[in-house]
Structure 1
Amino acid sequence: METMYYIGLDVHKKTINYCVKDGSGRIYAAGSIRATRLELDMWMKTLPRPWTAAMEATIFTAWIYDHLKPHAAAVKVAHPLMLRAIAAAKKKNDRIDAHKIADCLRCNFLPECYMASTEVRERRRTLRYRNLLVRQAVQMKNKIAVLLMEAGVSYNKQKLHKVRYFRELLATNQDIDNGLRSLLRQCRETVVRLGKTESALVRSLQRDSLLVERVERLMTIPAVGPITALTWALEVGDVQRFSSIKKAISYCGLCGAERSSANITMRTPLSKQRNKHLQTVLIEAAKMAPRNSPELAKVYEQGKQKGNANRATLAVARKMVAYLVAVDRRQNGFLVVENKNRTAA
């Protein structure tokens, strides 16, 4: 029977610390290499086989994971917060971290987190870049309003970003001097350019063969548009990784943390341990959802009767997560079963 070797990696921008151990915990090799593909290739030639590796989830993890995976028996990624709780130590440095990760992997204590496929991560990167462009466009629109207010120029807030109104404002308002007019035009051009790029990115994702069927199914759910569907598909990846709807809701950051001691229970605000991209999109969609779905409107009214509109919106968002999970699991479009007074997918 072949001996499996376990490798703990502590990855950083420029260096990777490693520790190689056998099943008994004996150190086979330890050291540091530069974080480049060429250096990794040279290092892998020195490793005993078979081997499995683990590393903490960081911004640098993805490319290292992809590069090692074809050569390893398995490559695993650890949840940083849970790993810190398991492998806490008084002394902490890169060398010790690599040893701890190797031990967690060897003893099957590694708190493994989900790693999406390379194809999904590439498209997710595109969607997140689109979200960045949207935020930048909003900043530029706000800057236009700030520039006008600084100069004491009156304007119609509802029409400010309409093409015709904006052009007439620059041409006819005597309070706008040449310097300000030039800045306003540059801001407007930036907004238009960002909008065109954002639209092109969304269209390319909607036409993507990897996503098109799934996105079309998700969009059969009331109040789920292309952005919500794309965000769900790319941020969640494989919906089967959630064993229950409650876990999906927790991942989306739509429930608070709970701290209990004796007979005292305290619920905190929305947990910070969440996918912030999904949380933002689902809450924004939930604000509009009651207008498009009688079922979601009923959920909102039930929450509103308790006296808190924000909690009612969160209740709608949680219901939308249940719909999204059901449609994804059953691979069918959304369907409301009226005679049984329930919804199904």
Structure 2
Amino acid sequence: MRFYTKSHKHYCGIDLHTKMMYVCIIDPDANILIHQNIPTNGKRFLKLIEPYKDDIVVGVECMFSWYWLADLCEQEGITFILGHALYMRCIHGGKAKNDKIDSSKIAHIMLGKNFPQAYAYPAELRPVRDLMRRRSHLVRIKSEIQSHISITNYQYNLEPFEKNIVHKANRAGIADHFRNPSVRLNVQTDIAVMDGLHDQIKRLENHIIKHAKSYDGRMLYRLKSVPGIGDVLALTIMYEVLSV
């Protein structure tokens, strides 16, 4: 675990939420300069910290809405650090917890050089990485639906499907296995959703591969040169690990 150990004139701890953010700014002597709950708004935040921008570090706990704040700090030349959620809970966990207390604790953790850092993923690659993760989510949904079709077939003790229904071409006509109209409609619905997911997954893959080739085609080629690593695994390593 890496801890942030640099010294600054001001330390800004933020308990960040989607609509509100509790901001606590302290100096090297742990004096509280600002402790205020404000709307989650970039302009409002910059106005609040303006007197301390010359040397300030902004720290937040890793949660889903940190992207915009990291980008804003980068644009303004402000040091931004992302806190590892699990380790931060171990450090400042306590019975008394609310937004005001948490923002203060985050600021004091930074001052004490005990801020456990998470990796703030580069802004320019974040959208594609998230697209890759979305693809994985859709693949899991597709697998669940495929399992439901197989389970339905077992429920009625019917003959196994002749071909693997993971492939789109092999799903044609399998709904005809089921005599009951309601069961048949159930399976037809599953097939329609699987077909739609198949098309969207391929669409995402094509977009991601195109981006990967233009971003670092050599890395993609090197990864795929390893036996057993194809497009999807290579892209996963490339966008989750970044440097190999």
| TM tier, smaller | 0.7 to 0.9
Residue matched to 1:222: 227
- Secondary structure in 2 aligned to 1:49? helix
Query: Equivalents in 1 of 2:168, 2:59: separation in Å?
Result: 54
Q: Structure 1 231/84 Cα, relative in aligned 2: closer, same or farther at 3 Å?
A: same
Q: CA deviation at 1:72?
A: 4.3
Equivalent in the alignment of 1:5: 10
The superposition leaves residues 110-165 of structure 1 with CA deviations (integer Å, 9 ceiling, x where unpaired) of 11222110122211100010001111111111222233344x25132452526666
The aligned counterpart of 1:195 is: 198
Alpha-carbon shift at residue 178 of structure 1 (Å): 3.0
Structure 1 unaligned residues grouped into runs of 5+: 240-327, 329-345
Secondary structure at 2:15 match in 1:
strand
- Over aligned residues, Cα RMSD in angstroms? 2.4
TM-score, structure 1 length as denominator? Answer: 0.61
Q: Distance in 1 between matches of 2:109 and 2:168?
A: 59
Structure 1 CA distance, aligned partners of 2:30 and 2:107?
Answer: 9
**1:72-131 CA deviation, whole Å, 9 max, x = no partner?**
431111112222333344532221221121122223221122211012221110001000
Gaps of 5+ in 2: 1-7
User: Quick one: distance in 2 between partners of 1:89 and 1:135?
Assistant: 37
Question: Which residue does 2:4 correspond to in 1?
Answer: none
CA distance in 2: counterparts of 1:166 and 1:27, whole angstroms? 65
Within the candidate set 158, 177, 181, 1:178 is matched to 181
Q: C-alpha distance in 2, partners of 1:70/1:166? A: 50
Structure 2 counterpart of 1:198, which letter? I
Which one-letter code corresponds to 2:204 in the other structure?
Answer: L
Task: Please give the per-residue CA displacement for 1:182-221, whole angstroms capped at 9, x wherever unaligned.
Answer: 3322211211111111112112111111243211111111
Q: Which structure has more RCO (C-alpha within 8 Å, separation ≥ 6)?
A: 2
Give 3-state SS (helix, strand or coil) of 2:80's partner. Answer: strand
The DSSP-based 3-state class of the residue aligned with 1:111 is strand
Selected match of 2:215 from 188, 193, 210: 210
**What is the identity, as a one-letter code, of the residue corresponding to 2:180?**
D
> How many residues are matched?
234
Which one of the candidate residues 232, 235, 260 is aligned to 2:240?
235
What residue in structure 2 maps to residue 154 of structure 1? 158
